[in-house]
Amino acid sequence: MQSTRTRLDRFMSQQLGIKRQAIRPILAQGRILVDGSVAYDVQQSIHQFSHVVFDRQVIQNNKPRYVMMHKPRGVVSATKDLKHKTVADLLDKSERDKLHIAGRLDFNSSGLILLTNDGRWSRQLSSPVNKIVKRYRVELEKPLDERYIDAFSQGMYFDYEDITTQPAQLKIISSHLGEVSLTEGRYHQIKRMFGRFQNEVLQLHRLSIGNLALDPKLLPGESRELQQWEVASIFETEENGFK
């Protein structure tokens, strides 16, 4: 599958096993269709989801896939691992090599995780420019108070990476339960932020990414395809990143 854009002549040369110079006369004869239209330009851009037909035979017909999964605790956010069960292991065997993970969760964290074959879409999700908000439910060892809210909203300095986190939003649900919304995904970030108060995170569960919430009907380990409106809804967030 084509993971990046390439020129039409290069793509067809690879697919047909002929020299690129031989593609130009084929194009002039109108024998190649791209997305339903006759292609004439050797420099036309082809990406992984371009529908390409040569002499009425389909050369490429990849469809974008977007999958929501309820990740259980004790599962690695990876496609392969020698010691532990992975997110990919929870998929049907026929799907395991076709999808990659768009945004990871820690081994002992649970909740919404997304898989796709669309590299451009997954890069948009992780790009700091888009400021996609991820919302988490956090259960803690010790009680919460207003100090936490102020500290999270100001961002925290991590000396190991020499960075200050972006402001995060903390909502106290009960004495030991909170909801954290942030636009980053640094290494064990939420656990480290609560660690500043010597307060251990007992459970971490991702509720949503952007405007896409985990389907409450999905049991841990289950997954389903996203509908098209759900795929687009993720990016429909306010400018400041928080609702």
Q: How far is CA 23 from CA 10, 13, 27, 180, 186, in A?
A: 9, 7, 6, 55, 47
Pick the CATH number of 134-209 from 3.30.70.3340, 3.40.50.720, 3.30.70.1560, 3.40.50.1820: 3.30.70.1560
pLDDT in tens, 78-123: 888 889 999 999 998 888 888 999 988 999 999 999 999 998 899 8
Q: What is the location of CATH 3.30.70.1560 in the chain?
A: 134-209
Residue 154 pLDDT level (bands cut at 50, 70, 90): very high
Confidence at residue 240, expressed as pLDDT on a 0 to 100 scale: 43
CATH topology of domain 64-131+220-237: Alpha-Beta Plaits (3.30.70)
- The predicted pLDDT at position 126 comes to 86
Rounded to the nearest 10°, the torsion over CA 131, 128, 233, 104 is -110
Read off the pLDDT of each residue in 210-218 and give the average, rounded to a whole number. Answer: 96
From 106, 118, 145, 162, the catalytic residue: 106
Provide CATH 3.30.70.580 ranges for the chain: 64-131+220-237
Q: pLDDT tens-digit profile of 66-82?
A: 999 999 999 999 888 88
Rounded to a whole number of angstroms, the CA Rg of the chain reads: 23
Q: What is the pLDDT of residue 2?
A: 42
CB burial of residue 114 (10 Å; 0-12, 13-18, 19+) = buried
Q: Please give the model's pTM, rounded to 2 decimal places.
A: 0.84
In this predicted model, what pLDDT tens digit does every residue of 14-39 receive, in sequence order? 999 999 999 999 999 999 999 999 99
Residue 211 has pLDDT above 70, yes or no: yes
User: Domain 6-60, what fold?
Assistant: 3.10.290
pLDDT at position 46 over 70 = yes
**151 pLDDT more than 60:** yes
pLDDT computed for residue 176 by the predictor: 98
The phi-psi region of residue 155 (left if phi > 0; otherwise alpha if psi is between -120 and 50; otherwise beta) is left
The pLDDT > 70 percentage for the chain reads 96
Say what the pLDDT of residue 207 is: 98
Q: Quick one: tokens of 105?
A: 């969760």
Q: Is 89 a catalytic residue?
A: no
